[in-house]
C-alpha cells in the first residue's frame, strides 16, 4: 500500500509540473503581437470543504485589450481525520475582459480542468457533469478573475472558480502576478 501511494503522489506531481512547463514554453509563442507574459502564485481554498486548500502556480499570455489565456497548476492539501492528503489539479482557460471598475480589470472565462484524484460520484455536493478515466477526472470551469495593478509589473489577482464537479470543488483564491511586457 505504501508503494502505491508514493507512485501515485509522484505521478500527480510529474503530470502537474510537466503540464505547467509545457504551457509556459508554448505561451511564449503566439500568432499575434504579444503584450505580456504573466506568471504568479497564490493560495486557494475549496468553497465546499474548508479543510482543503491549495497553492497555485499560473502562467498566462495576456493581451491588454483582448483575451487572457491562462494555465494553472494547483497542489491541494486536505486534512482528513488526522491524515494529510495531497493531490493535484491542472487547468487551462480563456478569459475575456468584462469591465474595469476603479482600476480593477474584471475577466470572465471558461476553461478545461483535470482533477487528478478519484471523485466520489455519490457525494451530496457532487454532480455528474464530468468524465472520469481512472484517477483522472475531466471537467469544465467558469472563472471570474479580477486584477489590480500594484506597480508597473506586479498585480494582485483574486479569482472565483465554478467547477462542473460540484459545489464542493468550487474554489476562491488570490495572489500576485508578475508581468513581462513585450514590444
**DSSP characters over the chain:** -HHHHHHHHHHHHHHHHHHHHHHHHHTT--SS---EEEEEEEEEEESS-TTEEEEEEEEEEE-SSS-EEEEEEEEEEEEETTEEEEEEEEEEEEEEEEEEETTEEEEEEEEEEEEES---TTSTT--S-SEEETTEEEEEEEEEEEEEE-SSSEEEEEEEEEETT-GGG-EEEEEEEEEEE--
Cell 472563472 maps to which residue? 143
pLDDT in tens, 63-96: 766 788 999 999 989 877 777 888 899 999 999 9
- For residues 115 and 66, the model is more confident at 115
Q: What is the mean pLDDT of the chain?
A: 80
Torsion angle in degrees (nearest 10) through CA of 66, 68, 69, 75:
-170
Record the pTM: 0.74
- Name the more confident of 182 and 160: 160
Lowest mean pLDDT among 34-38, 42-46, 52-56, 69-73: 34-38
C-alpha cell recorded at residue 167: 459545489
- Whole-number Å distance between alpha carbons of 53 and 12: 16
Least confident of 10-19, 81-90, 147-156, 166-175: 10-19
Confidence (pLDDT) at 168: 79
Fold of 2-27+34-181: Porin (2.40.160)
Cell numbers linked to 25: 514554453
Q: Where are the domains of the chain?
A: 2-27+34-181
pLDDT at position 123 is 66
Average pLDDT over residues 20-27: 51
pLDDT tens figures, 151-169: 989 999 999 999 888 777 8
Amino acid at each position: 500500500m505504501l508503494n502505491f501511494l508514493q507512485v501515485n503522489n509522484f505521478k500527480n506531481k510529474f503530470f502537474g509540473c510537466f503540464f505547467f512547463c509545457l504551457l509556459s514554453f508554448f505561451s511564449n509563442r503566439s500568432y499575434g503581437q504579444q503584450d505580456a507574459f504573466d506568471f504568479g502564485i497564490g493560495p486557494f481554498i475549496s468553497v465546499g470543504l474548508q479543510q482543503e486548500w491549495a497553492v497555485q502556480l499560473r502562467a498566462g499570455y495576456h493581451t491588454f485589450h483582448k483575451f487572457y489565456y491562462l494555465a494553472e497548476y494547483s497542489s491541494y492539501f486536505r486534512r482528513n481525520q488526522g491524515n494529510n492528503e495531497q493531490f493535484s489539479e491542472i487547468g487551462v482557460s480563456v478569459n475575456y475582459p468584462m469591465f474595469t471598475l476603479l482600476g480593477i480589470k474584471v475577466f470572465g472565462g471558461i476553461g478545461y480542468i483535470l482533477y487528478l484524484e478519484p471523485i466520489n460520484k455519490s457525494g451530496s455536493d457532487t454532480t455528474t457533469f464530468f468524465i472520469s478515466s481512472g484517477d483522472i477526472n475531466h471537467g469544465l470551469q467558469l472563472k471570474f478573475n479580477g486584477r489590480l495593478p500594484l506597480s508597473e509589473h506586479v498585480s494582485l489577482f483574486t479569482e472565483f472558480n465554478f467547477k462542473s464537479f460540484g459545489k464542493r470543488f468550487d474554489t476562491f483564491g488570490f495572489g500576485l502576478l508578475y508581468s513581462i511586457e513585450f514590444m
